Chain A
Amino acid sequence: MKNIWVLAQRELKGYFASSIAYIVLAMFAVIFGYFFYSATAIFVDYSMRSMMQRGMAPPVNLNDFIIRPLLMNVSVIVLFLMPMITMRLFAEEKRSGTIELLMTSPLRDIEIILGKWLAAMLLYLCLLGISALNILVLFLHGRPDWRALLVGYLGLLLLGAAFLGLGSFVSTLTKNQIVAASLTFGVFLMLWVLDWVTSYSTTTLGKVVAYLSITTHFEPFAKGVLELKDAIYYLSVIFLGIFLTARSMESLRWRA
C-alpha cells in the first residue's frame, strides 16, 4: 500500500513537471467551459421564449436540459483527452530506462501498475473537479437534483477508470509515447462507436457488440439512474485493463 502511494506521488509529479497535466486540464477547462456556457445560454433563451409565447411548455428542469447533455459531452471530451494522460505511464519509463529501476526494486508488479493508475486517476479527478466547479454555478441560480448529479459523476469516475486501465495497458506495449497515444485513441474511438451496430443489426452478435460499447453504459448514469449492469460493465473493464497491464509487464521480462 505504502509503495503504491510513493509511486503515485512520483507519477503525479511527473505529470505536472512534464506540463502534460497543465495542458490537459487547461484544454478541458476551455472546452468544457464553452459547452457549459452554450448549454446554459440555450436554456436561458428557451425559457425566455417560453415565457413570452403561449403554447410552449416551460422547461422541465436543469438536470434534463443542462446537466445530462453536459455529462454526455464530458464523456466524449474525456475520450479524446485520456490518451494524453495514459500515453506516458509505461512508454516513458521504457524509453528512459527507469523501468529497470522499478523492476529491480523490491516492488510487486501490481504495486507499480496501481501506483501509476492511481496517479492518472488523481489527475482525472482534478479534471472532473473543473467540470464540477462550472456545474456548481447552477446551484447558485436554480435547484438541480444533486442526487442525479452525483450518480452522473459516479458514472464519469467509472468511465474514466476504465479508460485509464485500458490506456495503461496500451502504454506497456511500446516505448514511444506517440504510438501509445495513437493506439489508445483508436481503441477508445472504436469502443465508443461500437453501439452503432444497433441501428442496423438485431442479431445476438449485434447485441453483444453493442453491449461492449463503452459510452452506451454511461447514458443511464447521465440520467441519474444507477444501474447495476452498467456499473458491473465498467468494473469489469477496469479489471480487464489492469489484468492485461500486469500480463504485459510480466511478458516484458521474458521478451526484453
Chain B
Amino acid sequence: MIKVEGLTKRYDRTTAVDHISFEVQKGQIVGFLGPNGAGKTTTMRVLTCFLPPTEGKASVAGYDVQEHPLDVKRHIGYLPESPPLYPEMEVDEYLAFTGRIKGVSSGGIRRRVDDVTERCALGDVRKKLISKLSRGYRQRVGLAQALIHNPDVLILDEPTAGLDPKQIIETRKLIHDLSGEHTIILSTHILPEVSTTCQLVIIINQGKLEAIDTPENLTARLQGHETIFVEVEGPADQVAARLQGLAGVTRVTRKDGQAGRNSWEIETAKDHNIRSLLAHAVVTSGWGLHELRPVGLSLEEIFLKLTTSDKAAEAAAEKQASGGTS
C-alpha cells in the first residue's frame, strides 16, 4: 500500500531524512517511533505530497507522490501534528467543507459527516464552533477530517500528543477500530504507544532508519539478549566450538573478518555478563584476542532515549506541578 525507497529530504544544511526505505501492507497499523526531530514529520509530509523528496521514491496506493500527487492525496487522510482547523467554523460545517475539497460528492456529504462524527464521538458538539472546543475534541475533529473521504491510508502525526490519559486511551481505541479497512501510519515519541496499537514499528533516529520489526520481536531483541562481537586469531572451528560451549551463550554466528582473522557475533542471555569469561577462554586457549565489543547498542540507546525522554518529560512536568502548588 505504501512503498518508500531511498527517501531523502535535505533542508538548507541539515538532512532531515536520510535514505529511508520501507513498505507497508494493506490494513497494517505502523508506528513511526523516534525522538523529536528524528524526521518522522518530514517523512509523513513527503508521503502526503506536502513536501517533495530531495531523492528517492515514495508511492501510496500505487501512485508516485511526485508524478500523481492528486491521486495520492485522494487516497490519503492526513492529520498533521496540530489539527488544521478553522476556528470560526462549526464542526459540521468544517467537516462538510473538508469532505468537499477532498472530492466527496455533494449528495454523499451528509452521510459521510454523520458517519465520521459518530465514529469520532463528536455527536454532541456538531453544532459548536471549533474555537470553543477543548483540546481533546479538536484532536477528534482533526481525525474526523482525515477520515471524511474514507481514505485507504491514514497518516496521523502524533495523534495523542497533548491529550489527557483518558483521551489517549480513547484515541488509541479509535485507531485500533479503524485498522483493517484502513492502512494506518502513526508517529509517536512514546514507546508504549506503539506496543499497544501497532503491528509494525519503524524506528528512525536523526533521519536514519534504525529498525523495522514487530513490537514483540523488538522487545525480545532488546531485552532478552546482548550481542557481542569478537575477533579471534586461531583455528576457526575450534574457536567456534569453544565459544559455543561457554555458559550463557545462546548463539554464535560467523562473520566475515578481515584477511586471516575470524570474527563472530555471540548472542547471550542478558543477565550473563560473559565478556570477561570470553576473554579468559580465548587467552587460555592460546589464541589472540583482537577485538571484543558489544554490538546493537545503537538501537538500545534509542530506546533508552525514547523511554528516558518520556520519563524525563514526565518528571519535569511533575516537578513543575508540585512547584506550582507549593
Contact = CB atoms under 8 A, between A and B. Distances in A.
Contacts of B80: 97, 100-101
A106 B70 contact: yes
A103 B50 contact: yes
B51 A256 contact: yes
Contact of A105 (B51, B73, B87): B73
Contacts of B71: 106
A104 B50 contact: yes
Interface stretch (A10-18, A42-50, A148-156, A169-177): A10-18
A14 B85 contact: no
A108 B100 CA distance: 14
13 contacts: A10-B86, A17-B89, A97-B80, A97-B82, A100-B50, A101-B84, A101-B145, A104-B50, A105-B102, A106-B70, A107-B101, A108-B70, A256-B45
B97 A98 contact: no
A253 B66 CA distance: 12
Contacts of B145: 101
A241 B15 CA distance: 34
A18 B48 contact: no
Nearest to B85: A98
Interface residues of A, number: 25
B76 interface: yes
Interface of A: 2-3, 6-7, 10, 13-14, 17-18, 96-108, 253-254, 256
B52 A253 contact: yes
Interface in B83-119: 84-89, 97-98, 100-103
A203 to B, nearest CB: 43
Q: Which 10 A-B pairs have the closest CB atoms?
A: A17-B88, A101-B84, A106-B73, A98-B84, A104-B48, A105-B101, A106-B74, A6-B100, A106-B70, A104-B78
B49 interface: yes
A239 B145 CA distance: 34
A96 B87 CA distance: 9
B115 to A, nearest CB: 19
A198 B76 CA distance: 57
Interface in B131-186: 145
A101 B86 CA distance: 10
Given A10-B89, A105-B98, 17 more contacts: A3-B101, A6-B97, A10-B97, A13-B88, A17-B89, A96-B84, A96-B86, A97-B80, A98-B84, A101-B98, A101-B145, A103-B50, A104-B49, A106-B70, A106-B71, A253-B50, A256-B45
B97 A106 contact: no
Given A101-B145, A104-B48, A14 B101 contact: no
A103 B140 CA distance: 21
A104 B82 CA distance: 14
A18 B86 CA distance: 11
A106 B89 contact: no
Given A3-B101, A253-B50, A256-B50, A104 B88 contact: no
